[in-house]
Amino acid sequence: MKKIQKRIIIILCVAFVCVMCIGTLDLGTEDRNDILYISSPEDLENFSKSVNEGNTYQDVHVVLTCDIDMSKVANFTPIGQWGQGNYFCGVFNGNGHVIRNLTIVPEESEGTEIIENLGLFGTLGGIVCNLTIENCYVRGNACGAFCCIAADEGISAILNCEVKNSEINAEFTSIIGGQYFGIVENCVIDGQGDSEVLNSNLKEIWDKYGIGQLNTWVDTEEGISLSMEKAEVPEKVYLKIENIYDGEIYPIYSAEAGCNVFCVPSIEGNRKAVLVLEMANGSIVKEEIALPCKKAEVEVNHETYEFQFLNSENTATVFIDVDGEGNFKYLRESKETILLGIVWVADEKGQCQYIGELERIRSRGNNSWFEPKQSFSFKLMQSGDILGMGRDKDYVLLPGYRDSSLLAYQITWDLCKEFKWEHALSGEMVQLYVDGDYWGLYLLTEKVEAGAERIPVEQSNDKTGGFVYEYSAIGYEEREIAVTAEHGNGLVFTSPVFPTKEQIEYSHTLWNDIEEAVYSPDGYNSKGKHYTEYIDLESFATQWLLYEMYAEVSVKRSVYFYKHPDSTGDGKLYAYQPWDMEHSCAWLDMAYYRRMAGSTEFWRLLGTHEEFAEEIRRQWKEKFLPALDKLLAEGVVENPEGISSIDYYIENLRAASLLEEFRWGKQQSIPEKGEAIKKWFDIRIPFLSENLYTDEFFMEE
């Protein structure tokens, strides 16, 4: 028996080829069961005119075939004008495309009623999905980018859509829709919202809202048409894996594969699992499988459902379940949201290594907080040693969304081990699942803070420390306690979070003295003290070089220093290892010139002092070049105590990367990033080896 999924794909391909050969379908036909393709501004205008003349397109699937630029249309007429009784009742599928430069304003001609309730759709009686509207301007009374008002609040839906850089000038507006009271789900405004990814899976949408489903395509004498009949389909599909996690793991629908795909954690050997299908009629079908596997088929009432599997390797896994069904979405809406939950951690062999209750989990980050793949921090109810990082309560999950390979992070962490950096962070690549949904590859790491197993600075009321600071040159959030020097460079208190008044005053004086000395041409401040009396030259130079080597621009924030109390330390500020590496090795042309040190004046001026420049040159020759030789060595060379070869990281993380690419796209796969890093250092190493020995290099702004 032919599989349903293959049948759908074959017929869809045939339909697409036929339509592309014939051209755009006639817009004037009322309620024809067909697919309507829109590929130009003229098509969109004709479609609007047709709907406004009374054609509802009931059961018609309207598909955009490309991005559409409406800049040459001075004033677009909404599809289904409000108050006229004519509106669209089919499915308008943007197919992942963008409508740009859409302008909709009230028409002000004499003798004509001014319609001020406007949007792409004036009134909507169907579904709009998988569409982005960008650079849109709408003016009126009650307006939205997608719609003014829903004709039927129970069926009208705007799903998996996004608005970018648009202005809705109206008294009543929610950007998505003015007085639209229909269904709105998985919609994003300028990158913020509930949507994880824009997708084209109409079948799941149809099932969820119980209004029929697009599950079959039928050959008729008139061509390809939709069958809207309700079929017996799984309402819920999940995987239960033995001895790894108590919860359910859910699949991701792949339009390319035409079926559901499970992202499976690393498992050594074979492991029993159960594939569960909860059907719409209430029956439950279970199929035992052995992992790892590539695909499975389950037959229910003569229909075959296919599932594919992507199996991770060589990476640990973190499962987090938050309290309360559906509450996880609130973490992504506000950094103030705190939830309870449970965490399971399995090692790279699939053995459960830790289970514990969460005192809290919250989203975190600065600029990265606005990205779809967010960063999280969690605190254990009781201290636990997760993946050998030492007993503690606080951990962080870094997503590296701008570099989803996370390879620059891993290399940096391993370089710090190679350099024997005191109190260096521990970090492990992990696959993350939240409430059973796969979230991709993350770096699980310790939180930068004071602690016996972290940075061992003494915590007391001593005004001189110990402290862990975060350097910031771009301002602070309201809840943060910070001190700012004369030139705008600031320090945020990380430990303690709530310092005493005396500690704040001491830190403010100390930081002012350091800044004044660094900004002084001879390195001395007005108190006659040299900047080297305040900072540890070696750690600051190592930190400086790591950022410079990668041309990593994240030196305006998320840069850490620490200081021991004067009673137990030398009174100096120590630099900590780099934290944010998302922009590292990002553009090959950047390898030809310096970028990091010019990002802030404080960093640039450090290099203008002879002692600092000489320490940088010494470390480049004695520490960095030998370590980079190991990194760029040919072949798969592992070094557990320090830096391994690029080829080792590529091969060891190749399978894990496939899951990440499936979830978030192939822009930054680990193999591709690994090859890019090789090319980067082919340029960057000779450039730095020459320019670090010139005074002009440090003087440039």
Got the DSSP string for 413-432? HHHHHHTT-TTPPPEEEEEE
Pairing of strands 437-446, 427-434: antiparallel
Question: Are the CB atoms for 494 and 470 separated by under 8 Å?
Answer: yes
**Residue 631 to residue 638: CA distance in whole angstroms:** 10
| pLDDT of the residue at 198 | 38
The first and second tokens of residue 123, run together, are 């009134």
| pLDDT of the residue at 700 | 65
pLDDT in tens, 140-173: 877 888 888 877 655 678 888 888 888 887 765 6
End-to-end CA distance of the chain: 69
604: left (phi over 0), alpha (psi -120 to 50) or beta: alpha
**CA 536 → CA 78, 344, 562, 563, 615, distances in Å?**
65, 40, 10, 10, 11
The first and second tokens of residue 634, run together, are 């040919």
Report the run of H or E that residue 360 belongs to, with start and end. strand 352-364
| pLDDT of the residue at 114 | 53
| pLDDT of the residue at 455 | 84
Q: What are phi and psi of 431, to 5 degrees?
A: -90, 130
**Residue 527 to residue 512: CA distance in whole angstroms:** 11
Architecture of domain 232-311: Sandwich (2.60)
Judged by DSSP in three states, 654 sits in helix
Confidence (pTM): 0.66
Judged by DSSP in three states, 306 sits in strand
391: left (phi over 0), alpha (psi -120 to 50) or beta: beta
Sheet arrangement for strand 91-93: 35-38, 61-64, 91-93, 127-129, 157-159, 183-185
| pLDDT of the residue at 12 | 36
Question: Are the CB atoms for 499 and 518 separated by under 8 Å?
Answer: no
| pLDDT of the residue at 666 | 67
CA-wise closest residue to 629 among 610, 648, 605, 646: 646
Q: How far is CA 697 from the centre of its chain?
A: 35
Judged by DSSP in three states, 369 sits in helix
Q: Which residues of 110-147 are buried (b: 16+ CB within 10 A; e: fewer)?
A: eeeeebbbbbbbbbbbbbbbbbbbbbbebebbbbbbbb
Give the residue ranges of the chain where pLDDT is below 70.
1-34, 82-84, 107-116, 152-155, 171-175, 177-181, 191-233, 366-370, 401, 475-479, 594-599, 666-668, 700-701
Dihedral angle computed from the Cα positions of residues 104, 105, 111 and 117, in that order, rounded to the nearest 10 degrees? 80
